[in-house]
Structure formats: structure tokens, C-alpha cells
Amino acid sequence: MHKGHINIDDVTGEMLHRLRFKEHTHTVYSGGFWDRMGVPVPDYPYDAPWVYQVFEDDCPPWVKECKFLFPWLQYAVVTVNKLMPGRFIAPHTDTLYKLTKKVSDQGHSVEDLVPVRINLFLQDRLMGHYFEMDDQTWLDYKKGDYTIIGQNVPHLVANLGYEARFTMQITGYTKPEDIK
Amino acid sequence: MIKYGHIDNFGITHDQMSQLNFDDYFQCYQQTPAVEQYYTEHNSSIWQMFETSPQWVHDLSKKIPQDFDHHVVSVINIPPGQTIPHHVDKHFKLKQKHNDDGTGVSYRYLIFLEDWKRGHYYEVHDQPFVKWKAGDWVKFGIDDWHIAGNMGEEPFYSCQVTVLKNA
């Protein structure tokens, strides 16, 4: 698992809790992951696989500015996820829909580039907070740690604790050799 | 004190798990205000069986360290999407059967019945425990707060051997 770190000490808990999330997304179908795997959709309880999200244009300036912490990423879009206790995002692979739409709409050429998603942890890991990718877990992360999620790599996250779990996803294109 | 160990030559099969006839489905303990707020019958319910467990479950009590005088067993199936939220165990069945006078010290051996699978999670005292193998066990006390959950697509089976060492 790729692991990196950037300094986001100026991001406070208050800033996270003041975020206004515009969407509440149900993840049980995992963007078609189960269909592609050829397995039935798990019988998850309806109330569990939910995540609050705020995307790109609805994000405050401090969120958008985080894109510049990764200058090797081009055409980046940003999302913040808020996972409440007792909720999870079921196993899935990312479709990168908003990124591919942006690149298509704006007519950018992405030849020789690969799409990547940075998962940036906005808090130190708290009790019951869970990150798993390709059957590997990362359970001692600190605020500012990040990993790279490849386009077809299954991953899941969960919050089995007491406090909301905040992460930022910064998605863009890059040359593989530029990934840091 | 948390202790970890492993049962060699474990030999329990997935078929044995699949044949378990659970008879009790219930919502987990709600021991803190935060659990009451966020964990409901919809996201924190599990299957469990106690004395009606098959013989192979009872036999597991002979394969762990024999540091006890009495014990009870159970099997838990955490279905996909369910969490056993932060809690301590009460050892109720053990006390009911073997410890009327409240003396002695009780512990729980949690035995993982299958290799770790995607989305299966256990944490005790803020220490995550994943990637286990079938037959791995964790021993912990009545004051040790812990969590388990299943965000994967397959049931999460475990056995509990709750033990009492006489005073």
C-alpha cells in the first residue's frame, strides 16, 4: 500500500464539523462492484452503508486548496466524505465518474496519464475507524497521511466507533512516475 | 491483560459453520450513550447460540490453555453489515451457572473460526486485530472494551469460551 504524508495541521476539527454535506449516498450496490464480481448484493441492513459527501464546487476554499498540496496531480477534483458511527462504505472499486466527466467536458488530453485517487485522512485514526484496500488494512494512520487508490482496486471503509470519520478524496491524472 | 494465541491443527471447516442452526437473533448491548445514539437493531444485531452449540464447539474448550476451572461456550455469527459496538462482556451465562457467590476471576477466549475475510474486524482496547487465521484466539477480561464488525460479504463466525478460575 502506498503511504505518504502532507502537513494539514491548519485543518481543525471545527472546520470538519462545519462542513455542509450536500449528499447522503447509499452504497449498498457499490457502483456495480457486486455485478462485476458476479456475486449477489450482500444483505446489508438498509441503515448501515451510508456516507455524507460534498463535492468540488460545493466545498469551501480550504478544501479546494488541498488540491495544490499534490502538484503532480492534474485536472484534480475533490470530495470530502463524512462517515457517521455505525456506517460504512461497502467494498467497491471507484468509477472516477466526476473526474472522467470533467476531463471529457473540458476536452483535456490524458494520453500517457493514469487516473489516481488520493485518500487523505483528515483526522488521526480514532477508535473503530477502518480502512481496507486490496485486503490490506491501515489502522494507525495520522492526520495528513494519505494513500493512493488505483482505479480497479477494491477497498472499503467503516466507522464502528463513536465519532464521525472525515476523509478527503482528491482525484486526478498523473504520470505513474510522478506519484509521490 | 490481553493475550493472543493459536490452536494448532484447528480443523474446523466452512461446512461446519454453514450447518450451525442459530436460534437467537438479538440487538447487542447498548452500554454507552454514543452506542445508544448510533447503533440500533438494524445495524447491531447478531446470531448467537450457547449450550445448544454442536459438540465441536464444546470441544474447542479443551484446545485452549487449561487455566480455568469452569467454562461456558457460545458461537456468534455477525451477518454482513452488522456491528457489535464498543462494549464489555458481562459473562452472564458463566456466572449464572458456575459463580453464584461472585468469587473467582473470569476471562473470555475469543476464537476465530475461519481465516480473516475482507471487511471482518475486531478491536480490543483500541488495538485493531485483523488478518487472523482460523484457530487464532484472543483472551481478554471482563473490563476490556472491544468491538467487532462485518463490512464484508460473508458471515463472520467466532466462538467464545468464557472461563472461570476459582478464587
A135: chain B residues, CB-CB within 8 Å: 118
Interchain CB distance below 8 Å, A128 and B86: yes
CB pairs A-B closer than 8 Å? 94
Instruction: List pLDDT tens digits, range B103-146.
Output: 889 999 999 999 999 999 999 988 999 999 999 999 999 999 99
- The beta-carbon neighbor of A156 closest among B43, B85, B119 is B119
- Using CB atoms, pick whichever of A49, A85, A130 lies closest to residue B121: A130
Q: How many domains does chain A have?
A: 1
Cα A129 from chain centroid?
14
A101 SS3 class: helix
Does the structure show a pLDDT above 90 at A175?
A: no
Asked if B59 and B123 touch (Cβ cutoff 8 Å), the reply is: no
* Interface-testing mutation among A29, A133, A160, with chain B (most B C-beta atoms within 10 A): A160
CB atoms B86 and A47 under 8 Å: no
Q: What is the pTM of this model?
A: 0.92
Which set of grid coordinates corresponds to residue B55?
459438540
ipTM of this complex = 0.89
Taking residues A48-76, what's their average pLDDT? 94
Judge: B118–A154 Cβ closer than 8 Å, yes or no. yes
Query: Is there a contact between B123 and A160 if contact means CB atoms under 8 Å apart?
Result: yes
Q: Is A138 on the interface with B (CB under 8 A)?
A: no
Averaged pLDDT for residues A17-32: 90
What is the CATH classification number for the domain harbouring B136? 2.60.120.10
Instruction: Indicate the pLDDT class of residue A29, thresholds 50, 70 and 90.
Output: confident
Chain B 5-44, residues with CB within 8 Å of chain A CB atoms = 32, 34-35, 37-40, 42-44
Q: Containing domain of residue A159, as a range?
A: 4-178
Domain extent, residue B160, equals 3-165
Residues of A in Cβ contact (< 8 Å) with B87: none
Q: What per-residue confidence (pLDDT) applies to B164? A: 94
Find the CATH number of the domain harbouring A19: 2.60.120.10
- From residue B71, alpha-carbon distances to B58, B120, B133, B166 in Å are 10, 26, 24, 11
Q: With an 8 Å Cβ cutoff, are A45 and B42 in contact?
A: yes
The beta-carbon neighbor of B34 closest among A43, A85, A154 is: A85
- Cβ of B83 and A160 within 8 Å? yes
Q: Closest to A46 (Cβ–Cβ): which among B34, B42, B79?
A: B42
Q: Which of residues 30-89 of A touch B (CB under 8 A)?
A: 34, 39, 42-49, 84-88
Mean of pLDDT values over B84-96: 92
Tell me how far apart the alpha carbons of residues B41 and B21 are, in angstroms, rounded to a whole number: 21
Q: Average pLDDT of B89-106?
A: 85
Cβ neighbours of residue A83 under 8 Å, at least 6 residues apart? A51, A52, A89, A157, A158, A159, A164, A165, A166, A167
Overall number of domains in chain B? 1
